[in-house]
Structures are given as structure tokens and as C-alpha cells.
Amino acid sequence: MAISKVVMPKLSEQMETGKIIKWLKQEGDRIQSGDILAEVETDKADVEMEAFGSGVLRKILVAAGGTVPVGALIGVIAEPNEDIASVGPGGPEMAPRTPQPATSPVTQPAAPPPATQPVTQPAAPPPATQPVTSQPATARPATPQPVTLQPAAAMAEAPGRVKASPLARKIAAQSGVDLKLVQGSGPGGRVVRRDVEAASSGGALRPTAAAVPAASVPAGVEFEDRPLSQMRAVIAKRMSLSKAPVPHFYVSSEIAMDRAWTLREELNGLEGQPKISVNDFVIRACALALLQHPGVNASFQGEAIRVYHRAHIGIAVALEEGLITPVLRDAHAKSITQIAAEARDLAERARARKLRVPELSGATFSISNLGMFDVTEFSAIINPPEGAILAVGTVRKIPVVTGEGLRVGRRMMLTLSCDHRVMDGAMGARFLQDVKHLLEEPLRLLV
């Protein structure tokens, strides 16, 4: 049986490096093709890595906590009697993994010191010539703690995620409460439902940065530089590649949401059915409209425009460390209740960083909704290589003049950002017009 090299896989289109969170198999374990070897942290999610060969896991070359480029060798699978010297220590996998000189074994003793030394971060990847590095690599978790301020008074919420129950997160998102400002009363300071409800009604909040007493900030310290997280670094790179070279133009439309709001309330009153959000109506409307306007469901490919015949909708989900856009595939072929259930599942797993590989990329069109933050309207930046993205505002109650006089109506603003290389203004306007008609006649979304 041939020796199988285990390399860091490319788990998303933008992935350049990956971090081993933990190995689920150990050296000496029998491996079958398709077995889950390890959990890998990418710029978007924590993903399970499969084995593509069978045999025995003979060597682990990058221990838990190690970060390596895509394609770098991290392990070897082979039968017990096979010679793996050619892919062992000093093999080709070492060169791309670290910019340090080949004599970097002398840095090995520097790895075990406590993770409180941010300056040792460049030396934290596993030693270059030691294949089994499970002990030294424990210093690697220092990566998420690169804050350069030493004083303990530096805002405690900056480095990590807020501990909160799933229900508390859901209620906070619906009510627009920032969990970072909520004082948790659960075990270990965990934010629970009652904390969010108290905060939304004007209860006690954690002091914001502006409310921290001046004495808690060291004299002379006016700012701090927080290193980019892996996700934020990718967002910065991707957005600069989008906004600068992609010629954006925008079309906006106000949608009468009265009938859609009433229909949503009726559907949510049905027992045993998933709760449907306004965003689910928007996803369904866009998916149907994309089939009628394939020129919007397209991307610029340099010498050609690629037109997609299936609607894979990217749904923007805000995380504490950045933004992620999991993909709802074949949205055009799903009912409103299917979309509601799958979109909610995607959002929950995105926040838990448990998305699957196919859900990380492949969108043909994206939707970004800031309505839960009471944003009236905004313009979103296109996520390359997609040709368009729809920005969704909140549903507002406003005075509306009709033929019968003045009444209160529900209105929502939509803004479509378009790549002018892919489409012109009239094409984007016709697409948005059809989305408007579908939302204002929502029974069509149920057919």
C-alpha cells in the first residue's frame, strides 16, 4: 500500500493557512479513508479534516496548536512495515512552514514557556525537525492573545468571545442588545436569558470603554494596537480586492411589507412549523428572481462572464471576530419553511464555527441584513467573485399616503450593489423590481 501524505487541505477559496485545533487520531491508530483525523481552524470555521488514505497514522508532524500553510505536510499514513524516512523529519514539508532558518531546532527550548509571552509568537509553530511535538506545541494557543497592553485594566472583553447561552444570543440579536455590554449572572459569568431581558429593559450593563474610570487606564496610554485575527485579516484582504478593482453601482427600492408581515405572523402561528423571519422571505424572493434574471446570478471571469443556473445564496452572519457568509445551496428549489430551517441552522453553526466545507464557499449571490440593528438602509460591498449583493434594512412603521387617505404602513429598504463589469443599471433595476413584486405579493413565495 502506498504511503499517504497528510497535508493541510484548502478548505475554502480564501484559505491560505490552517491551524490544527486538535488531533482526533493518535500515532499508531489504524486509519480508514474517510475517517476524521483532526479539527482544523480556518479563517471562517472550525472544520473536520478527513483522511484520504488507509493505513496507520505513523507520524504527526504538526501538533495541536500549530499553524501551517495550505499544502504543508502535517502527518504520514502508511503500513507499519513501510519506510517513511523520505517524508519524515527534514522532509519537504518543513520548508514552507516557517520563515526561520533550517537551524531552527535551537528554538525548541523556547516553545514551552507560558503563553503569556506575546513576543514569542513567531517561534510558537512546531519545531522544524521534530515530528512529534505534542508537548512544545502547547504554547501555540498564545496566538489568540496578541494584545500588546500589559495592564490588567485593558478592556477585558477585547480578547475573547462573550460567554452566553444560545437562547441569550438569539434574544440579544432580536432585541439589538450588545452581549459585550451585558453583565452575566449565570455560572462563571455566563450571560443567560434573564440578563439580556434585563438589559433590553434598561437593566445593568457592563461599563463601556468610555465609562471605565480614568484611573483604570495607565498614565500616558492613549491607544492600543490589536493584531488582526485570522478572520479579520482575510476580510481586510478580500474587501480591498473587491471595493477597489470592482466598479460598484447601486440601485435601491422601498418595499411595502404589510402583506408579507401579516402572512409571516399567520405562518408563525402554525403549530409544529419553523419560525419564519423577514430575511427568509427575502432569500426566497431573491432565489426566484435570480432564475428570471440569470445575468445577475453571474460573476466576472476576466475574459468571460460566468452565468449560474442555480441560486446558491450567501447569508451574511455577524460574529464577534468578523463576518462570515455561509451558503444556502439551491435556494430556488426550497420552500419558505425549508429556507427558514436551513438558514437558522447555518447561522447557529456559523456562530459556533461548525460549518461544513461545502457551506464555506460557492455562493452565486449574497444577502446582508442589518434590520435587527434598526438600520434603515445601507450599501454592502460585493463579495468576489459574485456579481451582486443585496443589503436589507429594517421594517419600519411610517405614515403612508394611499388613495384612501393617510395610514400607517410597514416599509423596508433594499439596496442592490452590482458589479458594472457583469451587468448594467437596467438589469439590476429589473431584478430588484421583481424582488419587490414578490415581497409585496408574498403568496407567490409559497407557490
| 15 DSSP assignment | -
Helix (H) / strand (E) element for 428: namely helix 425-440
Cell matching residue 56: 496507520
Q: How far is it, in rounded angstroms, from Cα 89 to Cα 92?
A: 9
- Is residue 374 part of the annotated active site? The answer reads no
270-292: burial string, b at 16+ Cβ within 10 Å, e else: eeeebebbbbbbbbbbbbbbbee
Q: How far is it, in rounded angstroms, from Cα 380 to Cα 222?
A: 32
Q: How far is it, in rounded angstroms, from Cα 48 to Cα 23?
A: 10
The strand order across the sheet containing 365-369 reads 248-256, 405-419, 388-402, 365-369, 313-315, 327-328
Q: Which residue among the candidates 29, 46, 345, 420 is catalytic per the annotation? A: 420
| DSSP SS3 for 133 | coil
Q: How far is it, in rounded angstroms, from Cα 331 to Cα 339?
A: 7
Q: Which residue among the candidates 330, 374, 424, 437 is catalytic per the annotation? A: 424
Nearest to 296 by CA among 364, 358, 381: 364
Give start and end residues of each alpha helix (H) in 214-335: 230-243, 258-268, 278-292
Nearest to 110 by CA among 87, 139, 131: 139
Q: In which residue are the cell numbers 460549518 written?
A: 355
Cβ of 90: how many Cβ atoms within 10 Å?
14
Q: In which residue are the cell numbers 500553510 written?
A: 69
Q: Are 26 and 57 in contact (CB under 8 A)?
A: yes
Integer-rounded Cα radius of gyration of the chain:
25
Detail the DSSP E strand segments found in 260-384.
298-300, 305-307, 313-315, 317-319, 322-324, 327-328, 365-369
- Is residue 424 part of the annotated active site? The answer reads yes
Residues whose CB falls within 8 Å of the CB of residue 272, separated by 6 or more in sequence, listed in order: none
Nearest to 185 by CA among 166, 210, 204, 159: 204
What amino acid positions are annotated as catalytic residues? 420, 424
